[in-house]
Amino acid sequence: MASHNELGRQGEQMALDYLIANDYEVLETNYRYRKAEIDIIVRKDGVLIFVEVKTRSGLAYGPPESFVSEKKMELFMEAGYKFMDKINHDWEIRFDVISLLMGKNRLPQLKHLEDAFVP
């Protein structure tokens, strides 16, 4: 398995652990719709939250959250709306990004960007 895939999986697990520790109710992970995937879907305080997790080992090409492209946002929102239809959604929504910077010689740095993008 490629090391970047393993890094991504580790980042998603750390993000999930962070959300659970902060009282988010996990509804689904790795939800797929067409070409899109939502890493984590949670609920907290009456808000349905779609979370994209971006993990990088360094800052050479910019912070992890900068890798969420416009196209990725469009696909992400489309999948989010499909999930809302699936569960007969009737509450507020939010699109978040959790950015993780991980390296061999330092502790992981997690940043939770709430309302990272809006429809």
Assigned domain for 118 exists: no
Mean pLDDT, the chain, rounded, equals 84
Q: Tell me, what's the pLDDT at 109?
A: 84
pLDDT in tens, 80-105: 989 999 998 877 899 999 998 887 77
Question: For residues 35 and 21, is the Cβ–Cβ distance under 8 A?
Answer: no
Assigned domain for 89 exists: yes
**21-25, 95-99, 104-108 — which is least confidently predicted?**
104-108
Assigned domain for 39 exists: yes
Cβ neighbours of residue 49 under 8 Å, at least 6 residues apart? 24, 41, 42, 43, 93, 94, 95, 96
Per-residue pLDDT, averaged over 66-84, amounts to 83
Assigned domain for 119 exists: no
CB-neighbour burial class of residue 30 (10 A; exposed 0-12, middle 13-18, buried 19+)? exposed
Find the domain containing 44 and state its range: 3-113
- CB atoms under 10 Å from CB of 17, counted, come to 11
The CATH number of the domain where 25 resides is what?
A: 3.40.1350.10
